[in-house]
A and B are shown apart, each in its own frame.
Chain A
Amino acid sequence: MRALGLKNPRWLPLHVLLGVVFLSGLCTLALGSVSYQWNFEAVWGYRTKFLAGWAVTILLAICSLVLSTCLGLLAALMRRSVWMPFRATAIVYTELIRSTPLLVQILLLYYGIFQAVGLQNRFVAGVVILSLFAGAYISEIIRAGIEGIPQTQLESARSLGFTPFQTYRFVILPQALRQILPPMTGQFISLIKDSSLLSIIGVQELTLNAREINSYTYSTLESYLPLALGYLLLTLPLSMLAHQLEKRIGYGS
């Protein structure tokens, strides 16, 4: 909640509502001055195309979340490995991904590598690219989660006679999970938003479909306002969930 500057999270819905009313008031004023002609009827005819794009976006985000979590876990464990080549590989992977724009990665991987190896399915290509991208960030989230456990907790487990496996199972895992869940939710939100960039390689997701609807109907705002709304419907609940989780991990320290 601190991030939003709110003292009492119960007021969050009210704040959001007030914000929306205020902002839409501003927009109406701005648009009113250029006398925009609304034409929702033409766009309404393409509602199934819109919904299909929305479904693809959701599916893209979910598939990428699963794959990137696996990749992230692997990279995090490799980073903690005692074997140098593992550590080096993990470091190069995370640093390369985190230091280049996603758009560049999409272009390079799709046109440079996937076309060369004959990966034709755009959806699969999209999932792989997004997962490689998010995996680098997730590996850092997981690493921080494990390394954030105070040494005294492990020492306590040892003094009680826990085996190393029991320590992982009953102390490290549950404590790390609490640390990891809120930033993971944030990462999922990013995945949903970042998937819009896949429109440039022709993945039939929400953004691409909205752009196509716009080109058929010549009604920009009627296509793009629902587009923004489509993303908000997915990300706002998740962002509230992240805040809830964040509150729950507090050990009061």
Chain B
Amino acid sequence: MTDRGTQRAAGPYCGLCGKPANGETHDGGGLPPSDTHLKCARLLMLEPPRFCVACGRRQKVQVSPQGWWASCSRHGMTVSG
């Protein structure tokens, strides 16, 4: 079964757009949390995560009829649940 966007949101970066997940810049100063990624979360129902939620790097992604895997050069492989 395909993981439909549950744990993928858990991390400092958005799995869909690769930007900081809570609207913070992660440079020491913070911006207020935003709802920028609500749409991303919805889209992640129909997309694999193209960005690593731990570091925001672009991942290698393979989709198959029944699932997907995504691989970050730093943080390794995530497989659909």
Chains A and B belong together in one complex: no
Interface set of A (CB-CB < 8 Å, partner B) = none
